[in-house]
A and B are shown apart, each in its own frame.
Chain A
Amino acid sequence: MAIEHSAVQLTKADFVSDQMVKWCPGCGDHAILASVLNVFPQIGYKKENFCIVSGIGCSSRFPYYVNTYGFHGIHGRAAAIASGVKIANPKLSVWINSGDGDATAIGGNHFIHIIRRNMDVNYILFNNEIYGLTKGQYSPTTKQGKITKTSPFGVIDYPFNPGELIIGARGTFFARAVDNNPKTLQEVCMDMAAHDGAAIVEVLQNCVIFNDKTHKEITDRETKDDNQIWLHHGKPMLFGKNNEKGLRLNGTKLEVVELGKDGITEQDILVHDRTTENTGIHMMLAQMRPPHFPMAFGVIRAVSQPTYNQMFEKQMAEEKENGRIKCVDDLLNSGDTWEM
């Protein structure tokens, strides 16, 4: 099922489409597009072997802006369409672009099931906590209390945390990134491409028009060192301007501690293991957010498990080898038949 690589080194220019990018100036989507255009040539597959699938929403215009095979679907259904693409041709590198409304509201069912099945796709979830294309209604990830066009008195819905949803749906890969940090976004995309199975990255993306600065507390230059923790496999979970803070497990709970205070040393700090199957620690990491915790970024979970497609192709190969019915004539003449 290996995806065929390009014989020549491709560049970003090989993937830029001739379509005018129509996102608003300053939209976080531009940075995500730039990252993907940089990552695809690095991944190294033949350019015909990429297929981008989307649903509906601002982010779902993505396929038009990348010169690959692309399919712009209907609202919420990108995961289902992409599942069909991948099953039909497992030798394609399938990428999905979806927003918080597309993925977690109208497409919530397909979202959890593509994850549960460990379908071998790469899924970029653009989370701007708002419906942008329909001009500013609250989504399942909008913070409580937010005033939007359809919540003039403040949102009373409890929001989804996509990470919880993904890990709760038995996700094998969950990463988080921010739109204003292209270097790390590209690193995460490379990790996704390397992961066999459903790889989801939640990108905190800013909608300049309808939900500007919704991620400000986390992404602002002044506060990000204290409010972001970048997780690296095998490395202690440290953060802060000078890595002076860290996470440790206190009983069954995570706790933020300061190195050097109360005799805390690096020995006390948790070391990130993204490969552990147990979801407990990954779930706790995904749940962290200010003010009491930094938000976790990077690859939070990357567990190796057979993919739907590997198991599907294995059954297929075995049946083609051992199955009694080799052609439709065999089928038509199977069981009780007689001459008249």
Chain B
Amino acid sequence: MTTKKLIEKDDVVVKFVGDSGDGMQLIGTLFSDASALDGNDIATFPDYPAEIRAPHNTIAGVSGFQVNVGKKIYSSGDQCDVLVCMNPASLKSNLKWSKKGGIIICDTDTFTEEAIEKAGYSSNPFTDGSLSSYQVIQAPITSMSVEAVKGILDDKKSAERTKNIFALGMIFYIFNKGLDHTFAYLDKKFLKKNPQVAEGNKAVLTAGYNYCENTDVLEAQVHIAHAEMPKGRYRNITGNIATAWGLLAAAEKANLNLFLGSYPITPATEILIEISKYKSLGAKVFQAEDEIAGICSAIGASFAGSFACTSTSGPGLSLKSEAIGLAVMTELPLVIVDVQRGGPSTGLPTKTEQSDLYQALFGRNGEAPCIVLAASTSANCFDWAFEAGRLALEHMTPVILLTDGYLGNGSQLMRIPKMAEMPKITPPLATPNDTTYQPYKRNTETLAREWAIPGMEGLRHRIGGLEKQDGIGNVSTDNANHQIMTNYRQEKVERVANRIPSQEVHGPDDAELLVIGWGGTEGALRLACEELQAEGKKIAYSHFNYIMPLPLNTSDIMSKYKKIVVCELNMGQFVNYLRMNYPQVNFQQYNKVQGLPFEIGELKDKFNQILGGK
């Protein structure tokens, strides 16, 4: 055994990459969970191909899982401190993400001549000098795993399958973490059904740990600083699960059944899968025959008195457009969740983008305003799904909630809220046998109409997609009435601004540059700005979650700063929306559409350039 020194670090980024089916998502999750339980803040992001099992040992088949662990974590990070590569293709495709001087662990058993060539290398990366600026650990992981399970798992396939756990053991040693959490996981998962598998994996985990401890492959261990977070009970959660739970929470606070009408679509399917589990909470899930039936069933359920939702991604939102207009016209509460992905058309199903904003704001026939919200972290998908429900139900209108593949699949620590502390949601239910009831009679403050639910006595009425007469709700083609109703629908959405908090700015009033973002880029933008602020740069930062309507003080904020740059993962949709609303302001923009989140480095470069520094 060699004694190693212990280095302190505020945060580290670890990425596990291998062939699809090598179990990278699993060990990534296990390392994240163990770190979180150990007291670190975390954010994770899985990076996997659209294909379920692309050809073995090819770049197309590489599946990855990245985690950022540390004291205060905003995003899943850019460059890796440790890159674990289970085959040559994963090294080839991910080397660009490794920090210079960072650790790269490779399973040398898989680096055969054939596999190296299949990965697209013209020479062996171990010998051609291309890895000279990294700390490469060449470990025969597969064969050591097989050795470690001898006598426990003797068939070759089962034995070799444990290699991911060996790599996990190595990572646990490097970051000085205990193995108990993973032991408990393995016992829970396998002990009853298949005790050999539990025992074998435990042996391999220990072997991986010991390998690093007992050899000279490492000079030091790393201790990652513990999180500085508000006291409370925490859990790890992905954005899609948080969205699902936020919708369930809104239903509970409104004392209504949740109805979800959806059709599977990457990367939103997880929401449908998650809510399907909770019939015990009264959640009614209808897996429809298509996207249109998904939203139309939700509109029917909303008419019938449920808190109705539909979940989708960009292509599905396109299919739902006409029905969203129907919900606008019938003024029924409805939440449409769009987990955005790269577009147009089928685009990049598993990659993130923010390019559905125009569609959410404008993608319907006629004058059809909707509330548009955007979640900005994996954990706050819970809050924004809840808020979407609150606004839909209290204002009787469809709400589009934008999240994205990065938020949806990524995970983060969430401080567990207490339902008793969440606001109550009070939809404007009509009173049975109210002789003054009219389908389009409005609340004078919110302009919301009353919700009379089939089955309620004395409130029978008909609504639909045809224009309705103000108040009484009969079909009307009267010219003046159409103007009145159009104004109402617009103003109803605009008045929501009276009931939402002010937009916040982080940074000094005299900042030279205001950075603006919206939706899923919050972590990267915030970190980039805070780092520049720490360097003494005069920079402020404001992140938008309320998109339509914008908070009332937005105009004031815009007029305060000399330079404003709007950063988004599209070609400039939010910046153009702001230009439309605030034509007097000169906005700069920074855009990227590569299916990837922003990197801190590129953002800082851009901001420095605008500030005239460097």
Contacts and interface: CB of A to CB of B under 8 A. Distances in A.
A46 B454 CA distance: 11
B293 A320 contact: no
Interface in B236-250: 236, 245, 248-249
Closest 4 A/B residue pairs (Cβ): A72-B464, A323-B280, A84-B300, A84-B297
B233 interface: yes
Interface stretch (A144-152, A251-259, A267-275, A332-340): A332-340
B33 A336 contact: yes
B305 interface: yes
B460 interface: yes
B289 A84 contact: no
Contacts of B303: 69, 71, 81, 84-85
Interface stretch (B13-21, B160-168, B415-423, B589-597): B415-423
B33 A84 contact: no
Given A88-B257, A88-B300, A337-B233, A70 B288 contact: no
Contact of A92 (B37, B288, B304, B463): B304
A84 B292 contact: no
Contact of A88 (B252, B259, B277, B463): B259
Contacts of A89: 304-305, 453-455
Given A69-B455, A323-B281, 16 more contacts: A49-B454, A73-B296, A74-B323, A77-B293, A80-B292, A81-B296, A84-B261, A84-B301, A85-B303, A87-B286, A88-B306, A89-B455, A109-B290, A312-B284, A320-B282, A333-B233
Interface residues on A, range: 35 or more
A241 B461 CA distance: 46
B298 interface: yes
Contacts of B282: 316, 320
B248 A320 contact: no
15 contacts: A47-B460, A48-B456, A54-B464, A69-B460, A69-B461, A79-B293, A80-B261, A80-B300, A84-B259, A84-B298, A85-B303, A109-B289, A113-B293, A319-B279, A323-B280
A227 interface: no
A316 B279 contact: yes
Contacts of B257: 88
Nearest to B297: A84
A201 interface: no
A63 interface: yes
Interface stretch (B196-204, B208-216, B224-232, B519-527): B224-232
In the complex, which of the residues A51, A326, A336 has the most CB atoms of chain B within 10 Å of its own CB atom?
A336
Nearest to A320: B280
B234 interface: yes
Interface of B: 33, 36-37, 39, 227, 229-236, 245, 248-249, 252, 257, 259, 261, 277-282, 284, 286, 288-290, 292-293, 296-306, 308, 322-323, 326, 330, 416-419, 453-466, 474-475
A56 B299 CA distance: 16
A125 interface: no
Contacts of A74: 296, 322-323, 326, 465
A110 B33 CA distance: 43
B280 A324 contact: yes
A332 B301 contact: no
Contacts of B248: 328, 331
A297 interface: no
Interface in A137-163: none
A110 B293 contact: yes
A328 B417 CA distance: 10
Contact of B235 (A17, A319, A336): A336
A336 B304 contact: no
A322 B252 CA distance: 19
Given A91-B455, A109-B289, A72 B462 contact: yes
Interface string A75-101: 001011111111111011000000000
A320 B279 CA distance: 7
Contacts of A87: 259, 284, 286, 297, 301
Interface string A305-328: 000000010011001101111111
B455 A92 contact: yes
A204 B248 CA distance: 46
A64 interface: yes
Contacts of A71: 300, 303, 330, 462-464
A319 B464 CA distance: 35
B37 A336 contact: yes
Given A83-B286, A340-B232, A332 B463 contact: no
Contacts of A48: 454-460
A74 B120 CA distance: 53
Given A51-B454, A72-B466, A326-B280, A85 B301 contact: yes
Interface of A: 17, 19, 46-49, 51, 53-54, 56, 63-64, 67-74, 77, 79-89, 91-92, 109-110, 113, 312, 315-316, 319-320, 322-329, 331-333, 335-340
A326 B252 CA distance: 11
A285 B384 CA distance: 55
B229 A70 contact: no
Contacts of A81: 296-297, 299-300, 303
Nearest to A65: B462
A199 to B, nearest CB: 18
Contacts of A56: 465
B157 to A, nearest CB: 30
A85 B454 contact: yes
Given A72-B466, A77-B292, A327-B252, A64 B475 contact: yes
B522 to A, nearest CB: 21
B460 A68 contact: yes
B279 A338 contact: no
Contacts of B305: 88-89
B304 A85 contact: yes
A70 B462 contact: yes
B280 A325 contact: yes
B464 A113 contact: no
B232 A337 contact: no
A339 B37 CA distance: 9
A89 B297 CA distance: 12
Contacts of B459: 48
A331 B245 contact: yes
Contacts of B289: 80, 109-110, 113
A335 B235 CA distance: 8
B323 A77 contact: yes
A71 B303 CA distance: 8
Contacts of B419: 327-329, 332
Contact of B300 (A70, A85, A339): A85
A249 to B, nearest CB: 36
In the complex, which of the residues B282, B296, B300, B464 has the most CB atoms of chain A within 10 Å of its own CB atom?
B300
B466 A19 contact: no
A69 B451 CA distance: 12
B300 A82 contact: yes
A53 B475 CA distance: 16
Contacts of A336: 33, 36-37, 235-236
Contacts of A328: 245, 248-249, 252, 281, 419
Contacts of A113: 288-289, 293
Contacts of B39: 340
Contacts of B277: 325
B286 to A, nearest CB: 6
A317 to B, nearest CB: 9
A337 B282 CA distance: 24
Nearest to B457: A48
A327 B286 CA distance: 21
A146 to B, nearest CB: 29
Contacts of B231: 339-340
Given A51-B454, A72-B464, A88-B305, A83 B300 contact: yes
Nearest to B252: A328
Contacts of B474: 19
Contacts of B292: 77, 80, 110
